[in-house]
Amino acid sequence: MEQFQGQNSTPPSGSIDKSRVLEIKPLRCLVPIFPSQPNSTSFNTPQGAAPFVCSSPSGPFPPGAAPFYPFFGVPGSQGPHGHNPQTTPSQTPPFRFNTPVSDAVPINSFRAGDTTPSRKVTRRNAKSQPQDGVAGEADTDAEGVNTRLRKKGSMDPEVDNILTSLNIITLDPARQNDGDKDSVEYALLIFDLLRRKIAQIEDSKGSSPGIIKRPDLKAGTILMTKNSRTNATKRMGSVPGVEIGDIFFFRFELCLVGLHSPSMAGIDYLRVNLEEEPVAVSIVSSGGYEDDVEDGNVLIYSGQGGNLNIDQKLERGNLALKNSLERGKEVRVIRGVKDVANPSGKVYVYDGLYKVEESWVEKGKGGCNVFKFKLIRLRGQPEAFTMWKLIQQWKDAISSRIGVILPDLTSGAESLPVSLVNDVDSEKGPEYFTYVPTIKYSKEANSTDFSSGCACAGGCLPGNQNCDCIQKNGGYLPYVANGVVANAGQLIYECGPSCLCPPNCKNRVSQGGLKVRLEVFRTKDKGWGLRSWDPIRGGAYICEYAGEAIDNSNIEALDRDMDDYLFDATRSCPPILPSDSSEDMKMPFPLAINAKNVGNVARFMNHSCSPNVIWQPVLRTNNKEPDLHVVFHAIRHIPPMTELTYDYGMLPPEKMGRRKKLCLCGSSKCRGFFAI
């Protein structure tokens, strides 16, 4: 079968050049194309036949027909094989967002990340996309860039307002091609902040049949058009600014920092020059194929292409990996592991450099030939995936955590145990205190925000403008999927005792106890600290600051011994983004919390001038008593066993005479001291 449907079809116009060799497409490549008008097709249809024609998903298309999602192209841009002539072979066709999807579309033909869309996306072809490249060429967009996005911004006034407020910086050409730690952190941070805000807006609009919401793709494409990416030059070996053990929750993040360019294919490769065959630069092992990941330092990786009924071929990524074996080239390995907080999602862990030691062909589960590659991790690299496996053994009680003093510091006060660990010195534990999971008010606070609650008996839903709590939050639910906060660093109005919604309401994120497994540990030079056994997604809730609420006006008269455990909400902190144009955080009333004698895990969080955690106030709806809380959210994705720190903040001028303490955060942006 060829694209013009055989001998009885009439071409749209003109005559056929019989000397031209036609590209023949197998039947499985064709999808039905329905005309926009009942009789508008230029193809001759037999009397009484069904009014549709067939065409390759990538075109060309007859008048009145248009490509289905995700094969949208820019009008007039199709090349001889349906690709945009401006894209490289490593790029797939451009996207449009929030576009209805026909029920006739085989949705499993598309995969570009690991969030859960409104329809099921299979991973069978996750490694089968072409992704050729030549050293020195920057991929302008691993997914292709929508021309309308290039010219008109986001096509959404609300998103454009977000872009204005974020004041996204275009990195200079040198840092776009060759990054550093700062440029990598900026690209990832701005992506996640933008993604969360887009998700918040899309959630408020509700769901529509056939609409796939992918805020990650939309945010990533916008940043591509603004050149807010780094390490765009494809390379072998380590990537500047990316550290072994770094984690990612979206495939597009790997692309933005130059770790793995294609956001669908599992194998990335390049040609050093046009005369040589390509070699692999990175692979993603995320469970879509029959990979063997039991050994933390050895990976048996299945090749790309083929399926249960077709043999894999020695081409594209498979050929590149074979060439890497023969030439002894290093390959970056990104391992996908199950996301505990989102069972349908993945966490991608950069596990460092490997070498391909062996390759062979064997029969897969479906009986067809599958290429297998044995990769060995290079020695002397920091632990990454092996640490994940060890932590899982601690959780499953297969092995014991070394240095445990107490298995649960909270004595059952929290929903998850908090270990007390010292594998540094002989210290037996912190000074005694009473563990409480929340703030304790001794008297009524000076507040005018006491109010009646919402009437959402089934729980607050995004977009419900009749919800009083949503109205207080500016018309949006402050949290998106997985309890991630959308408005970092701003006052949040949560549902409280005066609301009719249930305890599992989406607007009660900080009220369900700890969501990640924490441990209080002994640091080498800063006393006790706090870290997590679990990966923490950017914007995710960690804990609140518990203790005794005190009169803010009496802070100066307090015992100096309390300084190390005193939280003063009148302090100001630098914005998350240097370009952040949002207003300073507003507290409904002054608040200070003393956690010396009564407190929780937050009292152990140390200061850093480059923190990975931010605090923000949460006011729960309560018409009887003050209900202001200080909660902590992750600024960025935090790998397991990474110390959790926040900026203690800067005192107002009238309090600058208080004690200062030497800062040991070790950050390149360290101010040298912090006030206590």
Query: Is residue 290, in this structure, part of any structural domain at all?
Result: yes
CA 47/CA 411 separation, integer angstroms: 79
Rg (CA), the chain: 28
Residues 513 and 613 in one domain: yes
Q: Do 654 and 561 have their domain in common?
A: yes
Q: Is residue 149 part of a domain?
A: no
Mean pLDDT of 476-502: 93
Tell me 269's DSSP state. E
Cα(512)–Cα(461) distance, integer angstroms: 18
The answer to whether residues 456 and 567 belong to one domain is: yes
Query: Nearest-CA neighbor of 659 among 508, 555, 574, 588?
Result: 555
- Are 188 and 171 contacting, i.e. CB atoms less than 8 angstroms apart? no
Read off the pLDDT of residues 106-119 as tens digits, 9 standing for 90 and up.
323 222 333 333 33
Q: Are residues 654 and 540 in the same domain?
A: yes
In sequence order, which ranges of 328-466 are alpha helices (DSSP H)? 385-395
The pLDDT of residue 650: 82
Whichever domain contains 301, its CATH number is 2.30.280.10
The reply to whether 405 and 509 lie within a common domain is yes
pLDDT grade for 171, boundaries at 50, 70 and 90: confident
Does residue 215 surpass a pLDDT of 90?
A: yes
Residue type, 584: D
Query: Are residues 432 and 558 located together in one domain of the fold?
Result: yes
pLDDT at residue 168 is higher than 50:
yes
pLDDT surpassing 50 at residue 636: yes
Tell me the sheet residues that pair with 404.
421
Residues 416 and 291 in one domain: no
Is the pLDDT higher at 448 or at 618? Answer: 618
415-462, pLDDT tens digit by residue?
A: 999 999 999 999 999 999 999 999 999 866 555 556 689 999 999 999
Token pair for residue 344? Answer: 């349908």
- β-partners of residue 369 are 363
548 CB-side CA count, 13 A = 14
pLDDT surpasses 60 at 250: yes
CATH of the domain at 423: 2.170.270.10
In a domain, 206, yes or no: yes
- Its pTM stands at 0.78
pLDDT given for residue 308 in this prediction: 74
Q: Are 422 and 549 part of one and the same domain?
A: yes
Count helices and strands (H / E) in the chain.
9, 27
Highest mean pLDDT among 242-251, 282-291, 573-582: 242-251
Q: What sign does the CA torsion over 128, 130, 134, 139 have?
A: negative
- Residue 463 and residue 314 share a domain: no
pLDDT of residue 404 exceeding 80, the answer is yes
Is the peptide bond between 578 and the residue preceding it cis, with omega within 30 degrees of 0? no
Both tokens assigned to 321: 């990996």
Determine the pLDDT at residue 356: 97
CB 241 within 8 A of CB 180: yes
Say if 183 falls within a structural domain.
yes
Average pLDDT over the chain reads 79
Residue found under tokens 């609650």: 453
Count: domains in the chain: 3
Q: How remote is the C-alpha of 216 from its chain's centroid? A: 7
Q: What percent of the chain has pLDDT over 70?
A: 71
Query: What gap in Å lies between CA 257 and CA 227, rounded to an integer?
Result: 12
Outline where DSSP puts E strands in 364-497.
369-377, 404-406, 419-421, 434-435, 439-440, 492-494
- Which of 30-44, 99-113, 249-263, 337-351 is least confident? 99-113
Same domain, 394 and 409: no
Q: How far apart are the first and last CA of the chain?
A: 77
Whole-number Å distance between alpha carbons of 416 and 174? 46
* Of 71 and 101, more confident: 71
pLDDT for residue 445: 56
**Residue in this structure with the two tokens 């919800």, named with its chain if needed:** 467
Q: How many other β-carbons are positioned within 10 Å of the β-carbon of residue 500? A: 13
Q: Which position has the higher pLDDT, 292 or 6?
A: 292
pLDDT greater at residue 284 or residue 47: 284
> Does residue 37 have a pLDDT over 90?
no
548 and 660 together in one domain: yes
CB 366 within 8 A of CB 308: yes
565 three-class SS: helix
Q: Is the pLDDT assigned to residue 672 strictly greater than 50?
A: yes
Contact predicate 170/227, CB 8 Å:
yes
* Mean pLDDT within 320-328: 96
Token couple for 578: 């240097």
Write down the pLDDT at residue 159: 86
Q: Which helix (H) or strand (E) holds 193?
A: helix 181-204
Can you give the residue range of the structural domain that contains 542?
A: 400-675
Cβ count near 263 (within 10 Å) = 25
pLDDT band at residue 124 using 50, 70 and 90 as cut-offs = very low
Residue 167 has pLDDT above 90, yes or no: no
| Residue whose C-alpha is closest to residue 291's, from 127, 121, 130 | 127
pLDDT digits (tens, 9 = 90+) for 363-374: 988 889 999 999
The model's confidence at residue 582, banded by pLDDT at 50, 70 and 90, is low
Q: What pLDDT shows up at residue 10?
A: 46
The answer on 443 and 319 residing in a single domain is no
